[in-house]
Amino acid sequence: MSKWYPKNGRVIFHVDMNSFYASVEMAFDPSLKGKPLAIAGNPEERRGIVVTSSYEARKYGVKTTMPVGEAKRLCPNLIVMRPTFDRYRTASKEMFKILADVTDMVQPVSIDEGYMDITDCQDQGSPPEIAERIQNRIFQELDLPCSIGIAPNKFLAKMASDMKKPMGITILRKRDLEKQLWVLPIEEMYGVGEKTAEKLRKIHVNTIGDLARHSPLELKNLLGINGERLQKRATGIDDRPVDPEAVHEFKSIGTSTTLAQDTTEDLEIRQVFRRLTNKVEARMKNKTVLARNIQITIRYHDRKTITRSRQLQDYISTSDQLFYAAVQLFDEHWNQSPIRLLGVTAQDLVEKNEMTQQLDLFSYEQHASKEKLYKVMETLTEKYGKGTFQHLKNPTDPTITTSFQKDFLDDYKK
């Protein structure tokens, strides 16, 4: 057993659910099994984008982020369903409970994946045996497939879990990097996006092995500190611990939406910003946090995307404050071209109970002057209904509309 559990090393798992949303729908409705299935945000409109697809659909070339229309052209028999996030959260919670039965050292990183540190689990068998038991339990109890990567650190475990899908178990040791990892194209490396890959190819870095062997100085000049970090990962160096509390460390809360049609209409744009800031306010309310930085995302009709942010003088939390800051940024940076997508993100977050707001005379008068307004609005809302002031959507509404939120990822502990 000592060969599996080195004295000075770690044994890390990365557990990655396979085609998670589609697999959950198939487990819920077995008649879908074996059929090409795609989960899309809005199947009826152009903004319907494939979130995930079954392996049967992928054989036809259906991919994540592909428009529904294109996916249906590739696969005429494609079944397209809206996501049911309550169902996915329940499955995620049960999956992480199974991982927690093995060790307390579990770090969820998204709804369908997480890391485990099993270095102290020698009494439970070898790492491959433990991985096989986990995989079998998840499949037998939840009817869901997963792949598991086994490695001495998080990066290698993540890369290993991608090497065999579905239902794969892959071991990636440092001594095997040259044969298993370095032969892969650079864009398959975790942490290397499309733009970074383009930059690296210009300096003849075409594989992960090329990155590992390249001049550190040239990589740093090209990518800054990220170049150094990526090269270390490529050579198998990653000291990040598996941190069960990391799920509580969030730096931003944001949301975005693709418009039904490209638009330059000012009123429509502001209505979209109002809906987005309502959602951000609701999640900030649930997490009891304040923000001191606002960021917006604008994607134009030609898919060119820009992000702009601003550090604020004071911490903010209400939809009105978020809306004002976001629209002000937008007005400064919009180039008048038709817009396809808008996003708002609150950043530089602090918990309310850690932040004491010191009101000077001016800000005190602002707060005091709004109190009467808020009371009048509450009275009118009670009299005429909740729709009277659309922008005052209930901030305590806990509805989660996207899987990318991490607010619920520690629910498996309850």
Annotated binding-site residue numbers for Mg(2+): 16, 112
Which DSSP category does 176 fall into?
A: G
Q: Which residues contact 337 (CB under 8 A, 6 or more apart)?
A: 264, 300, 301, 302
Distance CA 385, CA 381 (A): 5
Active site residue 113: yes
The closest of 77, 10, 73, 4 to 37, measured between CA atoms, is: 77
The closest of 232, 135, 224 to 189, measured between CA atoms, is: 232
Distance CA 227, CA 196 (A): 10
Rg of the Cα atoms in the chain:
24
The closest of 124, 393, 174, 170 to 282, measured between CA atoms, is: 393
The closest of 17, 66, 20 to 43, measured between CA atoms, is: 66
Query: Reduced to 3 states, what is the DSSP secondary structure of residue 130?
Result: helix
Half-sphere exposure of 259 (CA within 13 A, CB side): 23
CB 321 within 8 A of CB 249: no
Q: Other CB atoms closer than 10 Å to residue 366's CB: what's the count?
A: 11
Exposed, middle or buried by CB within 10 Å (0-12, 13-18, 19+), for 315?
A: middle
Catalytic residue among 113, 129, 132, 371: 113
Q: Mind giving me the DSSP string for 30-60? A: GGGTTS-EEEES-TTSTT-BEEEE-HHHHTT
Annotated binding site: 16, 112
Beta bridge partners, 207, equal 185
| Catalytic residue positions, numbered | 113
